[in-house]
């Protein structure tokens, strides 16, 4: 290929928003020559590579905007430490069929059992699949909504929690809410109902949510919308954090 044609391809690729192609056209040509690719195979190679680069760029941008506390995967989760948890149930969620159906997932259990890890891993998988995601603790969400309401910007702020395809709400139940705060949560849940998925984690059983939201009627209304289409996984096992701490204490004792 002449230098003139190569330059023209680079310029055209830049105008089309294909910066990767401008940098790798020579590599594509080399691979085409070595593989003796026909015209259609060469075009397939270029388009496939460009799509992969674009998807990876979108994935990394999605993670950056998601506010996830970390980017863990299910491969990093130690299912052997939670023998009562059926890995198949979690892996079924990882197919993201519930996200496609705009349904919800709830992970319940005591602190430290890996609820947030699984929730984050599902969100990362959703982001990889092309869904928009956003992570928040319940307390942070309520705090931001209250501040927006006081400033007359509640409708705008609600959009933060309504726009994503998947909203992860972590640590439901760690702090009881006042009724006005619970009403803000109800607005998010009701407006997302059958329009987007929620993945939540909670250390409280659903029967205790009346105490969490300070109003049995309001808690029932929230649960009614949340659980209508929802996969519930209960993790009743030992704490990973405590396990790691005990190991550290054992090592310190051995050294002493």
Residue with tokens 């990876």: 56
Mean confidence (pLDDT) of the chain? 90
Q: Give the integer Cα–Cα distance in Å for 10 and 49.
A: 16
Round to whole Å and give the CA distance between 150 and 124.
33
Distance, in Å, from the CA atom of 133 to the CA atom of 140, rounded to the nearest integer, reads: 16
Structural domains in the chain, CATH included, are 3-65 (no CATH), 74-242 (3.40.50.300)
How does pLDDT run across 192-251, given as a tens digit for each residue? 999 999 999 999 999 999 999 999 999 999 999 999 999 999 998 888 766 655 555 555
Query: 207: number of CA atoms within 13 Å, CB side?
Result: 0
Per-residue pLDDT band for 253 (boundaries 50, 70, 90) equals: low
- Look at residue 23 in the predicted model and tell me its pLDDT: 81
Phi and psi angles of residue 126, each rounded to the nearest 5 degrees, phi first: -65, -40
Q: Is the pLDDT of residue 81 over 60?
A: yes
| pLDDT (average), residues 121-138 | 97
122/240 Cα distance (integer angstroms): 19
pLDDT for the residue 204 = 96
Q: CA 116, 177, 200 angle in degrees (round to 5)?
A: 25
Query: How far is residue 157's CA from residue 141's CA, in Å, rounded to a whole number?
Result: 10
Q: What is the pLDDT, as a whole number, of residue 245? A: 57
pLDDT for 250 equals 53
pLDDT at res. 50:
86
Q: Which residues contact 150 (CB under 8 A, 6 or more apart)?
A: none
What pLDDT was estimated at residue 4? 81
- Please say if the pLDDT value at position 255 is more than 70: no
Question: Cα–Cα distance between 40 and 129 in angstroms, integer?
Answer: 27
- Above 60 in pLDDT, residue 82? yes
Q: What is the pLDDT of residues 5-31, one digit of tens each?
A: 778 888 888 888 888 888 888 888 888
Q: Write down the residue that tokens 């890995």 correspond to.
A: 87
- Say what the pTM is: 0.83
CA distance 102 to 104: 7
Please, how many CA atoms are within 13 Å of residue 84, restricted to the half-sphere of its CB?
8
Tens of pLDDT along 151-169?
A: 999 999 999 999 999 999 9
What's the rounded Cα separation, in Å, for the pair 148 and 161? 13
């Amino acid at each position: 290929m002449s230098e003139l044609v190569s330059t023209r391809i680079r310029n055209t690729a830049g105008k089309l928003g294909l910066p990767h192609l401008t940098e790798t056209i020579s590599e594509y040509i080399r691979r085409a020559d070595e593989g003796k690719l026909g015209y259609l195979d060469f075009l397939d190679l270029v388009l496939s590579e460009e799509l992969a680069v674009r998807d990876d760029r979108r994935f990394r941008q999605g993670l950056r905007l998601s506010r996830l506390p970390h980017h863990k995967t299910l491969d990093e989760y130690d299912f052997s430490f939670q023998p009562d948890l059926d890995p198949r149930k979690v892996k079924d969620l990882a197919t993201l069929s519930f996200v496609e159906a705009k349904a919800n997932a709830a992970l319940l259990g005591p602190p430290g059992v890996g609820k947030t890890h699984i929730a984050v891993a599902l969100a990362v998988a959703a982001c990889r699949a092309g869904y928009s995601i956003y992570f928040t603790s319940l307390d942070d969400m309520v705090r931001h909504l209250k501040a927006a309401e006081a400033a007359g910007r509640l409708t705008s702020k609600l959009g933060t929690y309504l726009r994503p395809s998947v909203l992860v709400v972590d640590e439901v139940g760690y702090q009881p809410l006042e009724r006005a705060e619970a009403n803000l949560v109800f607005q998010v849940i009701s407006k997302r109902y059958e329009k987007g998925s929620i993945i939540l984690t909670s250390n409280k059983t659903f029967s205790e949510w009346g105490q969490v939201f300070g109003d049995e009627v309001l808690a029932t209304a929230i649960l009614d919308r949340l659980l209508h289409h929802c996969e519930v996984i209960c993790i009743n096992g030992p704490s990973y954090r405590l396990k790691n701490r005990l190991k550290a204490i054992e090592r310190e004792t051995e050294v002493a």
